[in-house]
Amino acid sequence: MTTGAPTPIEDYYHRATINDHGKFQQLIYHKRNGKQWSVVWKAITQPCTVNSICGVFGFCTTPDDETVNCKCLAGYAPFDPSAPSKGCYPLEVKDFCAANSSASDFTVEQIDNDDMPNSIFADLNRVESADAESCGKEVMNNCFCMAAVLLDSIFNKK
């Protein structure tokens, strides 16, 4: 971890920190004339790739690969606005599997230019060779499905 630190390393205080967003980094502070801690190494260069950083039904955006902005999917609100990693809850609870439920009870919304970088950690049912229309139909036909990922789009049932 000290490969990016200035030398001689004995002239600096070193510390490693990890914050609530999963950001693990090494910082240095000059022992004699230091004015602030400086980052010399960080484990994660794209914070939105941290699994569940915005919690369930939340999604992450970052303008600079430093700042994390969490938002809820449409039709959802944050459990705790001061702790976005707690995720979001539906504003209206619907039983999509109820006997009296029909397709008119919900809609499918497409979110463009999004991705799911940690899909290997998600509980996914994969449908091969799907386009936007067939992906939307799969979401509508599965009453337990709440969201789907298609290439660079996310479909959200609400």
Q: What is the per-residue pLDDT for 122?
A: 60
The pTM (predicted TM-score) of the whole model is: 0.60
Q: What is the per-residue pLDDT for 31?
A: 93
Q: What is the per-residue pLDDT for 20?
A: 65
Task: Return d(Cα 140, Cα 136) in angstroms, integer.
Answer: 6
Q: What is the per-residue pLDDT for 115?
A: 62
Per-residue pLDDT of the chain (158 residues; tens, 9 = 90+): 556 667 788 899 999 998 766 678 889 999 999 899 988 887 777 778 777 788 888 888 888 877 888 989 888 899 998 888 889 998 887 777 888 877 666 777 777 666 665 555 566 666 666 777 777 777 777 877 776 666 544 555 44
Q: What is the per-residue pLDDT for 21?
A: 62
Q: What is the per-residue pLDDT for 15?
A: 92
Which residues have a Cβ under 8 Å from the Cβ of 153 and sit 6 or more positions away?
Answer: 110, 111, 112, 113, 114, 132, 135
DSSP letters, the chain, are -GGGS-SSGGGEEEEEEE-TT--EEEEEEETTT--S-EEEEES-S-GGGSTTTT-TTEEEE-SSSS--EEEEPTTEEES-TT-GGG-EEESS---TTSTT--GGG--EEEE-S---TTGGGS-----SS--HHHHHHHHHH-TT--EEEETTEEEEE-
CB 84 within 8 A of CB 59: no
